[in-house]
């Protein structure tokens, strides 16, 4: 039996990080309101969501602490843990019998699922925790990614795709005039969701890295109605196809940036079958101003960012993509042990080349804690001259989800990128940047004697 969502829930429960709400709750806004209020606290299992026989799980991945806990590490060790996983892939294995196929519904009715409506102006209920699995029509190589799905009918979903790997699978199928088979797995171990957020090259299977994060292969099973393999331990699987050349209005939807994406003509999925566990749990990921979507993304993107910077500046020590202000996408703090002047710029270029949405990078020395905003601000104030140390690169490709890009003309969507070099300039007399404080030996002595002072 592989590691699955239930094993992750057991870990959270054992650490007091899972709560159950048995009072009836409305799937329109109330579920989201509760999850916003407890954000960063426990995950919540709602057992009585009006109009649905299924329980709803929320808040599973809205803090680094909870993600680290279910991966078997700590928040501080997440980066080395995920970087190690990138270096040690484990391929999935195929199994014959799967919990996710205990029940097979060949005439699906999505209205029975407790799909919540999250933000005030959302165009309706959105499925947000779905892991989308597809195969490259040219060579069969799998891709795993997450996309928003608007509920449009009993067997109909809208989908919005950035110009990513799934989109290229769709284009390859559409060129042949064929629908693209896509399975949506709901309720999987968070390692699979983190793996889907790694920035891997095209034609590299994210699930081999999910295996690396789990320390064991992900078990897969063949879908019943489409030629796609899905995680055998999933709670629900929606067996779908993206229709070729069909577009319908989709949106608005409160996205990761905490802003609404407008109504656009977008792609449509037909759901051919729904399979699920007999006692399946529906899983929701919060979007809009919640930090859940940014945290999940940042934990997956930071190891790729670290490796990209390391290729340019081997002495990189740490990277951090802040989630509340930067939404896990727009900015990063990078610490390096500077050996040569100009390395902070190289670190910035490497970071921008690796990630489309990233638009400013603060580079600090390795004595600065990248997670401590006071230390980062202090470095900017004491080690940076704006006329020499701020570098702006104009007209660089971004994604339409950047509000400073061009939402209505994605192909023209560019932004400016900024590097702030907050490392000590070489040539500055070292003593001008030494921090003035009580001697360390005296701090130790005071700590040891603390009780004596009666404070």
Span of 48-56, 157-165, 316-324, 387-395 interacting with Mn ion by CB under 5 A = 157-165
Span of 92-100, 161-169, 252-260, 416-424 interacting with Mn ion by CB under 5 A = 161-169
Span of 36-44, 159-167, 177-185, 364-372 interacting with Mn ion by CB under 5 A = 159-167
Residues 137-156 that bind Mn ion (CB under 5 A): 143
446's CB contacts (< 8 A; 6+ apart) are none
Number of residues located near Mn ion, criterion CB under 5 A: 2
Residue number with the shortest CB distance to Mn ion? 165
Q: Whole-number minimum distance, CB 206 to Mn ion, in Å?
A: 6
- Token digits of residue 418: 């900024």
Q: Whole-number minimum distance, CB 396 to Mn ion, in Å?
A: 22
From 22, 17, 6, 3, select the one nearest 62 (Cα to Cα): 17
Span of 47-55, 160-168, 239-247, 330-338 interacting with Mn ion by CB under 5 A = 160-168
From 182, 270, 186, 184, select the one nearest 236 (Cα to Cα): 186
DSSP-derived pairing of the beta strands 56-58 and 282-283: parallel
Span of 164-172, 285-293, 299-307, 394-402 interacting with Mn ion by CB under 5 A = 164-172
What separation in angstroms does the CA of 379 have from each of 209, 285, 384, 427? 35, 35, 7, 17
* Residue 165 found at the interface with Mn ion (CB under 5 A): yes
Q: Going along 102-215, which residue ranges are E strands? A: 103-105, 126-127, 131-135, 142-146, 149-153, 156-159, 180-186
Q: Whole-number minimum distance, CB 165 to Mn ion, in Å?
A: 4
Residue 329 or 335 having the CB closest to Mn ion: 329
N residues, the chain: 455
Q: Whole-number minimum distance, CB 192 to Mn ion, in Å?
A: 13
Span of 119-127, 163-171, 226-234, 254-262 interacting with Mn ion by CB under 5 A = 163-171
Q: Whole-number minimum distance, CB 162 to Mn ion, in Å?
A: 12
DSSP-derived pairing of the beta strands 360-365 and 149-153: unpaired
Residues 266-295 that bind Mn ion (CB under 5 A): none
Residues 213-252 that bind Mn ion (CB under 5 A): none
Residue 135 or 165 having the CB closest to Mn ion: 165
Alpha helices (H) along 74-183: 78-87, 165-175
Phi, psi of 221 (to 5 degrees): -135, 150
Cα–Cα distance for residue pair 51/49, rounded to 1 Å? 6
Residue 167 or 330 having the CB closest to Mn ion: 167
Residue labelled with tokens 């795709």: 161
What separation in angstroms does the CA of 118 have from each of 115, 121, 326, 450, 451? 10, 9, 21, 50, 51
Cα–Cα distance for residue pair 133/140, rounded to 1 Å? 12
Paired residues of 142 in beta bridges: 135
Q: Whole-number minimum distance, CB 302 to Mn ion, in Å?
A: 17
Q: Whole-number minimum distance, CB 164 to Mn ion, in Å?
A: 7
193 upstream amide cis, omega within 30 of 0: no
Q: Whole-number minimum distance, CB 369 to Mn ion, in Å?
A: 32
Residues in contact with Mn ion, shown as a per-residue x/- string from 358 to 387 under the rule CB under 5 A: ------------------------------
Q: Whole-number minimum distance, CB 141 to Mn ion, in Å?
A: 9
Residue 168 or 317 having the CB closest to Mn ion: 168
Q: Whole-number minimum distance, CB 198 to Mn ion, in Å?
A: 8
DSSP-derived pairing of the beta strands 156-159 and 264-276: antiparallel
Residues 87-146 that bind Mn ion (CB under 5 A): 143
Q: Alpha-carbon torsion 132, 93, 96, 71, what sign?
A: negative
Residue 199 or 337 having the CB closest to Mn ion: 199
Residue 201 or 427 having the CB closest to Mn ion: 201
Residue 86 or 95 having the CB closest to Mn ion: 86
Residue 143 or 266 having the CB closest to Mn ion: 143
Q: Whole-number minimum distance, CB 135 to Mn ion, in Å?
A: 11
Residue 133 or 273 having the CB closest to Mn ion: 133
Phi, psi of 87 (to 5 degrees): -95, -5
- The contact set with Mn ion (CB under 5 A) reads 143, 165
């Amino acid at each position: 039996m592989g590691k699955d969502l239930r094993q992750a829930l057991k870990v959270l429960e054992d650490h007091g990080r899972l709560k159950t709400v048995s009072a009836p709750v409305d799937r329109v806004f109330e579920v989201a309101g509760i999850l916003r209020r407890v954000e960063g606290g426990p995950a919540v299992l709602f057992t009585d969501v009006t109009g649905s026989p299924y329980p709803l799980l929320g808040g599973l991945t809205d803090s680094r602490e909870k993600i680290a806990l279910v991966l078997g590490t700590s928040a501080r060790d997440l980066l080395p843990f995920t970087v190690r996983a990138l270096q040690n892939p484990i391929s999935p294995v195929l199994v014959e019998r799967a919990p996710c196929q205990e029940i097979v519904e060949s005439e699906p009715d999505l209205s029975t699922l407790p799909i919540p409506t999250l933000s005030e102006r959302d165009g309706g209920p959105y499925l947000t925790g779905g892991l989308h699995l597809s195969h490259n029509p040219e060579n069969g190589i799998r891709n795993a990614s997450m996309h928003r799905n608007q509920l449009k009918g009993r067997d109909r979903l809208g989908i919005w795709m950035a110009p990513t790997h799934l989109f290229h699978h769709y284009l390859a199928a559409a060129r042949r005039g064929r629908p693209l088979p896509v399975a949506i797995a709901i309720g999987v171990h968070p390692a699979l969701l983190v793996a889907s957020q790694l920035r891997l090259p095209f034609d590299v299977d994210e699930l081999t890295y999910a295996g690396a994060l789990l320390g064991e292969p992900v078990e897969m099973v063949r879908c019943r109605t489409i030629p796609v393999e899905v995680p055998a331990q999933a709670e629900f699987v929606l067996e779908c196809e993206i229709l070729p050349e069909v577009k319908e209005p989709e949106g608005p939807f409160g996205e990761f940036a905490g802003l609404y994406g407008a109504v656009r003509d977008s792609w449509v999925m037909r759901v051919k079958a729904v399979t699920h566990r007999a006692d399946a749990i529906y899983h929701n990921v919060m979007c809009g101003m919640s930090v859940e979507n940014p945290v999940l993304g940042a934990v997956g993107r930071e190891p790729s960012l670290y490796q990209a910077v390391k290729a340019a500046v081997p002495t990189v020590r740490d990277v951090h993509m802040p989630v509340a202000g930067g939404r896990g996408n727009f900015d990063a703090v990078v610490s390096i042990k500077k050996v040569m002047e100009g390395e902070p710029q190289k670190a910035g270029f490497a970071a921008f080349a690796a990630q489309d949405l990233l638009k400013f990078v603060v580079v600090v020395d390795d004595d600065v804690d990248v997670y401590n905003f006071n230390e980062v601000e202090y470095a900017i104030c004491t080690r940076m001259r704006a006329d020499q140390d701020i570098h702006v690169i104009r007209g660089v490709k971004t994604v339409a989800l950047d509000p400073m890009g061009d939402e209505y003309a994605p192909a023209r969507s560019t932004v400016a990128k900024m590097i702030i070099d907050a490392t000590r300039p070489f040539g500055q007399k070292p003593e001008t940047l030494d921090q003035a404080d009580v001697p360390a030996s005296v701090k130790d002595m005071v700590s040891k004697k603390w009780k004596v002072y009666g404070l």
